[in-house]
Structure 1
Amino acid sequence: MGTPDRQQRLAALRDAIADIERKPALAEARPLLQADGAGFPLPAGGLLQEVFTDERRHAGAALGFALGQARSLLTPSRPAVIYLQLAHEAQEMGLPYGPGLLSFGFDPAALVLVRVANMTELLWAAEEAIACRAVAAVVADIAGQHKLLDFTASRRLGLRSANAGASMLLLRYGTGREASAAHLRWRITPALSATRRFDALAPGAPRWQAQLEKGILDNQQTHWLLGWTHHGFIIRDAANRALFPAADAALSGPVPAPLAHRLPATA
């Protein structure tokens, strides 16, 4: 048996851990959540989010959803979004396309690409990037399953995000779900594009089916059909009518799109 002083410290530690485990998952982040009139939660700084899609071929939809949220966090004092990838996974998954980002209202000059050799470096880079006061959000595109990305690692990222006021978005693939400390977990599925007014057969604006798998919002809504304009996400009703833009700050005109133009063809 230990000394009485040691036993008291252990008892106090057990009480502290039990109190943490009883705390609701979103209690510490609830003040950071904002819901507009239609119930879609506008992203606020300081959140750890997981963005899942069932298949890798839907990577574009997941990345578009994450970058759409990240763009709304950009401010003059936080002008950058960091995009993290493992170098070998970038060969399979590809990179964000600068002119494509520009066509959807995301200034590619605001996106910083970082490719690292292994998961240890990626987690280190994520924590360091989140702590930078010039960063609005960090998007980590993680294609595979990695033992290092466990609950403890996600808890560290969540705490660092909350302390720094920048958001962390983890892009994940597949139907499996591991325990994590994420404040929000999304399941993203691409939806049929919106129809054009004068040509119903032509492809229209992109749309997403967004399902909130983890996280409790005030109105309890968990499913949204989202569209996109240069002003941000728009929420659509059952009749496919746009209700209103969820973000009202557009970019100020065309900008150059040199993203990734100097990256080597192979990692």
Structure 2
Amino acid sequence: MPAPETQQRLAALRAVIADIERKPALAEARSRVQAQAGGFPVLGPGLVQEIFTDTARDGGAGLGFALGQARTLLTGRRLAILYVQLAEEAQSAGLPYGPGLAWFGLDPARLAIVRAASLGDLLWTAEEAMACRAVAAILVDIKGSPRLLNFTASRRLSLRAAAGGVSLFMLRSGARREASASHLRWRLSPARSGRKPFDARAPGPARWRLRLEKGQLAGGETDWLLEWTKDGFTSFPAGSAGPDRRHAGTALPGAVPAALGDRLPQTA
């Protein structure tokens, strides 16, 4: 094939992919997005979401955001959430903490953990699990930008997710973005935790700063500051820091003993 013709075909292909990337979401996914007045939208099943953090060490924040959404997808029939990661990555990154999941409002017994030997096995596991009617959501932890996860692979996953009614959360890191058929793509970073009652110095509810890089949700918003509560996500204006932690309690007269962590009044 002559070089000029090859270049023309490549340019046309890039234009097609760019057009797909600009679309807010696949048409069949729009009905699964519901608006919440003044808050983060409730996202229904059957979506593929990419969650990018700038560094791998922020992966826990991405996992928390994905679990917060996955929890809402559990039903009487959809009983399980599948978390798939490479075996070699699990040894360095660790596993989700059971008591922490319970505090998060997720029964640890609902989370099934799979350690795959290779990326091919990881993607195969995710695709096959989408056919299981007992699975509500699948979380896959993918480091870097592997060639195996190309547009064709992501398109296949997106079609399987829509057909099976199972949401897929792809946990990624780094600055590189490849063309993909995901419905939504997020850039996420951890934010300073919220206020904890009775102890302003202790870490409070988890918070995330979110930017929607691909797709479009009801209301047209693209940036959020979210906090986790027992009832789900609470949204604050994206440019704010949320409620001021400095006013979490009443100041005590005199020095506060190091052992006094709940800021209760001292007694004689």
TM-score w.r.t. length of structure 2? 0.79
Q: What does residue 190 of structure 1 align with? A: 190
Paired AA for residue 105 in structure 2: G
Matched, 1:24 2:26: no
Alpha-carbon distance in structure 2 between the residues aligned to 1:31 and 1:69: 17
- CA contact under 8 A between 2:84 and 2:138: conserved in structure 1? yes
Q: What does residue 211 of structure 2 align with? A: 211
Shift of 1:193: 0.6
Alpha-carbon distance in structure 2 between the residues aligned to 1:203 and 1:85: 28
Alpha-carbon displacement from aligned partner over 1:122-179 (angstroms, at most 9, x marks no partner): 1111011111101000000112321110100000000000001110000001111111
- CA contact under 8 A between 2:49 and 2:182: conserved in structure 1? yes
Q: What does residue 106 of structure 2 align with? A: 106
Q: 1:153 to 1:204 in 2, by over 3 A?
A: same
Alpha-carbon distance in structure 1 between the residues aligned to 2:176 and 2:241: 33
Q: Structure 1 vs Structure 2: percent identity of aligned residues?
A: 57
Shift of 1:39: 4.3
Query: How many aligned residue pairs are there?
Result: 226
Hey, which bits of structure 1, 4+ residues long, moved more than 6 A? Answer: none
Root mean square deviation, CA, Å: 2.3
Alpha-carbon distance in structure 1 between the residues aligned to 2:196 and 2:98: 25
Q: Which runs of 5+ in 1 are unaligned?
A: 1-17, 242-267
Alpha-carbon displacement from aligned partner over 1:83-108 (angstroms, at most 9, x marks no partner): 00111111222111111111211111
- CA contact under 8 A between 1:39 and 1:221: conserved in structure 2? no
| Alignment map for 1:53-92 (pairs within 5 Å) | 53-92=53-92
Paired AA for residue 67 in structure 2: L
| Alignment map for 1:245-256 (pairs within 5 Å) | none
Q: What does residue 199 of structure 2 align with? A: 199
Alpha-carbon displacement from aligned partner over 1:191-238 (angstroms, at most 9, x marks no partner): 001123443322211111111111112311011111111221112244
Alpha-carbon distance in structure 2 between the residues aligned to 1:111 and 1:117: 20
Alpha-carbon distance in structure 1 between the residues aligned to 2:38 and 2:167: 23
Alpha-carbon displacement from aligned partner over 1:46-82 (angstroms, at most 9, x marks no partner): 0000011001111110000001110010001100000
Q: What does residue 34 of structure 1 align with? A: 34
Q: What does residue 255 of structure 1 align with? A: none
Q: What does residue 250 of structure 1 align with? A: none
- Secondary structure of the 2:130 match is helix
Alpha-carbon distance in structure 1 between the residues aligned to 2:158 and 2:206: 30
Matched, 1:233 2:223: no
Paired AA for residue 54 in structure 2: D
- CA contact under 8 A between 2:189 and 2:210: conserved in structure 1? yes
Paired AA for residue 141 in structure 2: D
- CA contact under 8 A between 1:39 and 1:219: conserved in structure 2? no
Shift of 1:239: 7.2
- CA contact under 8 A between 1:183 and 1:214: conserved in structure 2? yes
Q: Which runs of 5+ in 2 are unaligned?
A: 1-15, 244-268
Matched, 1:177 2:196: no
- CA contact under 8 A between 2:23 and 2:215: conserved in structure 1? no
- Secondary structure of the 1:210 match is strand
Alpha-carbon distance in structure 2 between the residues aligned to 1:184 and 1:110: 25
- Secondary structure of the 2:196 match is coil
Alpha-carbon distance in structure 2 between the residues aligned to 1:63 and 1:176: 19
Q: 1:145 to 1:24 in 2, by over 3 A?
A: closer
Q: What does residue 129 of structure 2 align with? A: 129
- CA contact under 8 A between 2:84 and 2:122: conserved in structure 1? yes
- Secondary structure of the 2:28 match is coil
Paired AA for residue 211 in structure 2: Q
Alpha-carbon displacement from aligned partner over 1:218-267 (angstroms, at most 9, x marks no partner): 311011111111221112244735xxxxxxxxxxxxxxxxxxxxxxxxxx
TM-score w.r.t. length of structure 1? 0.79
Paired AA for residue 240 in structure 1: G
